[in-house]
Each structure stands twice: as structure tokens, then as C-alpha cells.
């Protein structure tokens, strides 16, 4: 094609950042526009650490514009996407009007899921971005600090709603930090009560039973009480309700799950929980100029038909495939099928321990500090690849 193509990428999460990095290096005659609500990219898999206070926002963020400052074919627009008009091939933005595209890569990311439970949105503290993680941290610290003057036992009670990855990893960071908080604020740590409430029958069901049991017992030894097969029916300002049982607490962390961006439903896509089942080359059915990757996409596993879970690992793999397919289309070629092979699963239980199931050079089950090291290596590697930190630190 002789005319320069305009590629618009929505969202600077793992998928969107990786996509733009790949496209910027490709041999294509195209202008790339990256739209993101915030000026920064954040490591969403580490939000629980900011919420627990074991990391600061600066530890898990970097400036999006700075990453692409030397890429002349990349423009970064800081604005919020409100709607996508698939007929006119335009993206509506909150402050900047509309943006036209020849090709669209939608990687808008996730939002907290309340499942319509009464009071969840008003009374639960979600962990979905830097602002909510900081809000949860401030609430926790203020509430624990208040006990010294309030003597309200509920100030020392914490309920974590849900037992998914974020919940478990948050609990790990929380129990690691509590001794320091007790010294700082002068509350009796032996009176702290932590409940984790889960509707499903298992904790850490994605791991082999022995490994999952080790992780559960570790957290239990640090004071966490798990309640499985306990669906949440209501969240009050100071208690979580499951049918006839109340779990009183003045800190309620809401990590029951996520769904895709509301922009998906608002734009008329065929969706479920704001996720769209994509074609095998990651395009939208009937929209050959659109790719959906990351948390707004749903990718069936060809082996069993089930949808892959949305993880940073699969988001980065999707971006690699979608970038290759998009470059091929612009250059007059064809697309290939997305194939995903998981490298394994790692769940931290605080900064110094965890559990891991790794599929590299064989199958490895790890627990304790080895799992924590593998988690850190994976996080550091993704940061390095997405931000190109070595380039950013170079002096001219």
C-alpha cells in the first residue's frame, strides 16, 4: 500500500505496550497512535504490593511518553476512551474528540467485577489501578492506627473478598507487613483477625493439590482464616454477609474478580462480561481491521474449548502474535493462528516466599524462597521488555 496506514492502539497495559513496542520496530509504512487514560503504565500484577504498603507506586510504574520519546512513528495521546464506532472507524475520546483509524488494536484492560452484589461497589475497596491500591492502603493504615484510641475490635478485623490470585498475593504481603505496622501504630497484633471469603470450594485450585495446600497452610500459620463455599450476598459498611453469617470488619478488600472495560459493551460488541471471543488470529469477527488483546479478549483453548484465563503472560503473547499479523496485513500478507503455551504459574505469598508451577526445561513445582525469586525474575523481565529500561538509562 502506498498510503501510510494509521494504527490506533487503545490501552498501555501489558498487551498495549508490548504491541506498540513491536509495531514501532517493524518495517511498515504506518503511524502508530497509543491512547491511554493515565500518563503512566503500571504493573497490574503488583498492585497488591502497593495496597499492602510493601512497594511504592514509583516501583511499579513508568512514564508512557518517555518510553516512546525516540520513536518518531509513535504518538502518545493521554485521554479516556468513551466509545468505539466500528462503522465509521473512529474512537471517541473524553477530551480530544474523535480519532480515526485504519487498523484498531483494542487492549483496554480490566475493571472490578461486583457481580451485582448489594453494597459491594460502595463498601468494598478494589485493587484495579494505582489510585484504588493507594486508597486501600490508606484505609488499612488509618483503621489500624485508629485502634489505639477507638479500642474498636473491628478496626483490627480485615476481610478479603475472593480467593483469586490478587486476593492470595495481597494476603501474603499483608501478613508480611503487619508486624511492622503493629510496632508503628501500637496495636496488639495477636488481636488482628483476617478472613478470606471465597464462593468456590477450593483455594489455589490452579496448582497441584500438594502445592496449593502448602500455600494455604502458610497463610493460615500467619493468621488468615479461609472460608470456602461461602458466597457473599451483601457488603455492609462494616461487615461482609454470606446468607445468615456476618463477618464484621472495618477494612473490606474487594478482589472477587474482574471483567473487561465497559467501553466494550458501550460500543455494541457481542460480549460477555465485557470480553469478546476473538477469531483464531485475534481479530474481531466481521471486523478484519480490528484486533482485541488482553483483558477485553476471550481466547478459546483449541484443546478443550475453554477460555484461557487472562494473565500478563497471555497478554504479552497475544501482542506478539497480533503485531506480527498486523504487519503482515499491511504488507499484503496473511495472518497466522494464535498459539499459546504457558510457561507456568507463580503466586507470591509475600516478598520472600511463594509457590510456583514452572514449565520450562521440564516441569517444576517450587515453594518458599525459590518461588519468590522466580516471581521477581518474571516481573523484572516484563518491565525490562516493556519499558526498554536499558535504553531509557543510556545517556546521549
Active site residues: 169
Which stretch of DSSP H or E encloses residue 110? strand 110-112
Cell of 235: 457488603
d(CA 166, CA 253): 10
Q: Give the contacts of 69 (CB within 8 A, at least 6 positions apart).
A: none
As separate numbers, helices (DSSP H) first and strands (DSSP E) second, the chain gives 11, 26
d(CA 252, CA 254): 6
d(CA 128, CA 132): 6
Distances (CA, A) of 196 to 94, 133, 164: 38, 18, 10
What's the distance, CA 319 to chain centroid?
Answer: 16
Q: Give the contacts of 177 (CB within 8 A, at least 6 positions apart).
A: 52, 53, 54
Distances (CA, A) of 3 to 20, 31, 32: 20, 11, 14
3-state helix, strand and coil shares in percent for the chain, rounded to the nearest 5 = 35, 30, 35
Residue-level length of the chain: 396
Cell of 106: 483494542
Cα-Cα end-to-end distance for the chain: 36
d(CA 396, CA 390): 13
d(CA 340, CA 313): 10
DSSP, collapsed to helix, strand or coil, labels residue 299 as coil
Asked if residue 120 lies in contact with residue 163, where contact means CB atoms within 8 angstroms, the answer is no
Asked if residue 226 lies in contact with residue 194, where contact means CB atoms within 8 angstroms, the answer is no
Q: How many CA atoms lie within 13 A of 90 on its CB side?
A: 7
Amino acid at each position: 500500500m502506498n498510503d501510510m496506514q494509521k494504527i490506533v492502539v487503545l490501552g498501555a497495559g501489558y498487551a498495549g505496550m508490548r504491541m506498540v513496542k513491536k509495531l514501532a520496530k517493524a518495517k511498515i509504512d504506518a503511524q502508530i497512535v497509543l491512547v491511554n487514560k493515565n500518563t503512566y503504565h503500571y504493573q497490574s500484577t503488583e498492585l497488591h504490593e502497593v495496597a499492602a504498603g510493601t512497594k511504592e507506586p514509583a516501583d511499579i510504574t513508568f512514564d508512557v511518553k518517555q518510553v516512546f520519546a525516540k520513536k518518531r512513528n509513535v504518538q502518545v495521546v493521554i485521554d479516556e476512551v468513551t466509545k468505539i464506532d466500528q462503522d465509521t472507524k473512529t474512537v471517541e475520546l473524553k477530551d480530544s474528540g474523535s480519532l480515526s483509524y485504519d487498523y484498531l488494536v483494542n487492549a483496554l484492560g480490566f475493571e472490578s467485577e461486583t457481580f451485582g452484589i448489594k453494597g459491594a461497589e460502595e463498601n468494598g475497596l478494589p485493587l484495579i489501578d494505582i489510585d484504588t491500591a493507594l486508597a486501600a492502603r490508606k484505609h488499612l493504615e488509618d483503621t489500624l492506627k485508629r485502634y489505639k484510641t477507638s479500642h474498636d475490635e473491628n478496626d483490627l478485623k480485615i476481610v478479603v473478598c475472593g480467593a483469586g490470585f490478587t486476593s492470595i498475593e495481597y494476603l501474603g504481603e499483608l501478613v508480611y507487613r503487619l508486624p511492622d505496622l503493629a510496632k508503628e501504630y501500637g496495636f496488639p497484633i495477636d488481636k488482628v483477625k483476617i478472613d478470606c471469603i471465597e464462593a468456590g470450594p477450593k483455594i489455589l485450585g490452579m496448582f497441584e493439590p500438594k502445592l496449593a495446600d502448602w500455600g494455604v497452610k502458610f497463610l493460615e500459620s500467619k493468621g488468615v482464616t479461609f472460608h470456602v463455599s461461602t458466597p457473599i450476598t451483601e457488603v455492609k459498611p462494616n461487615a461482609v454477609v454470606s446468607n445468615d453469617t456476618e463477618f464484621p470488619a472495618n477494612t473490606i478488600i474487594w478482589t472477587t474478580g474482574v471483567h473487561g472495560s465497559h467501553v466494550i459493551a458501550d460500543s455494541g460488541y457481542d460480549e460477555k462480561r465485557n470480553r469478546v471471543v476473538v477469531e483464531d488470529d485475534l481479530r474481531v469477527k466481521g471486523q478484519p481491521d480490528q484486533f482485541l488483546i488482553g483483558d477485553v479478549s476471550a481466547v478459546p483453548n483449541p484443546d478443550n474449548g475453554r477460555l484461557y484465563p487472562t494473565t500478563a503472560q497471555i497478554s504479552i503473547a497475544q501482542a506478539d502474535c497480533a503485531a506480527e499479523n498486523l504487519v503482515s496485513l499491511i504488507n499484503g500478507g496473511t495472518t497466522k493462528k494464535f498459539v499459546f503455551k504457558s510457561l507456568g504459574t507463580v503466586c507470591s505469598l509475600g516478598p520472600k516466599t511463594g509457590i510456583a508451577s514452572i514449565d520450562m526445561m521440564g516441569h517444576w513445582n517450587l515453594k518458599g524462597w525459590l518461588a519468590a525469586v522466580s516471581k521477581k525474575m518474571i516481573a523484572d523481565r516484563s518491565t525490562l521488555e516493556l519499558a526498554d529500561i536499558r535504553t531509557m538509562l543510556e545517556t546521549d
